[in-house]
Amino acid sequence: MANKWDESSIPDQSGKTIVITGSSSGLGLHAAMGLASKGAEVIFAVRNVQKGIAATKQIQLRHAKAIVKVMKLDLGDMSSISDFAAAFQKQYSNLSILINNAGVMMPPYQKTKDGFEMQFGTNHLGHFALTGLLLPELLKTPKSRVVTLSSLAARSGRIDFDNLDGSKGYHGFPFYRQSKLANLLFAMELQLRLSASRAETISIACHPGIAATNIISRGSGSEVRGLLRLLMRRMFQTAEMGALPTLYAATELSLKGGEYIGPDGRGAKRGHPIIDPIVHKLFDKKIANQLWEVSEKLTGIHYTFPN
């Protein structure tokens, strides 16, 4: 039996510039650790700069030569996204990998600074806008990638175009499922549009199975403690294992774009990364197109692809 893919399988990443959103903890931090250990320059695009700095220090303690940097990004604020993109473009002329990792899960009903429901606005619209603004740097970088994190929750998700802002009723988990399905539809639709323009950049989606991370803190960012933490450790796989699909999607050389990567265990809940064929059941071209049009209208970000 062939060895299963793990962090030791990551090829050398020297010379690559990688942006990871929400990389100060959880899956994003472990993905950043793995990529920095292989020589990439990793930019921590985070809402809380102090937490980001603390996270980079963790990496540098383990990997003294790691090249890591913190830049402020609040995905719930379009002006912050624009500021981040402008600051990045002043300092860098290329972008090898963009990992759309950050997310909030089941917060009480609230809106982003721009009036979007928090989960749809942060998890999907924020990343849609960020990717669009950074697309020029991605397109001019050979073999660049966009990796977008979805979730097992996407399997039961539905895009309610008549109530995207939650004003006609809100329940946390259905809106989380909606945002994660939106992540998956966006990643697949982006790949179709990149392919149609014959761009070298590819788009891949992934999900971590069920991993023990702080996303369950309902948007507060606080650490999960006590009995819940103990239960999570027993029932869920570790954040290190949960990050493997992200790392596979970001670095596995055999991927062509349009794949959905998840764990290989029962129910795709835990295990080592493989291509998850369920994407073919979940992707609906008509809904993806409508979501794209709505996302451009809401964010004001219009993608420009090569002719």
Catalytic-role residue among 109, 170, 176, 303: 176
User: DSSP letters of the chain?
Assistant: -PPPP-GGGPPP-TT-EEEEETTTSHHHHHHHHHHHTTT-EEEEEES-HHHHHHHHHHHHHH-TT-EEEEEE--TT-HHHHHHHHHHHHHH-S--SEEEE-----SPSS-B-TTS-BHHIIIIIIIHHHHHHHHHHHHHTSTT-EEEEE--GGGGG----TT-TTSTT---HHHHHHHHHHHHHHHHHHHHHHHHHTT-S-EEEEE--SSB--GGGGTTS-PPP-HHHHHHHHHHSB-HHHHTHHHHHHHH-TT--SS-EEEE-SGGGSSSSEEE-TTHHHH--HHHHHHHHHHHHHHH--------
Reply yes or no on whether 109 is catalytic.
Answer: no
Residues with active-site annotation? 176
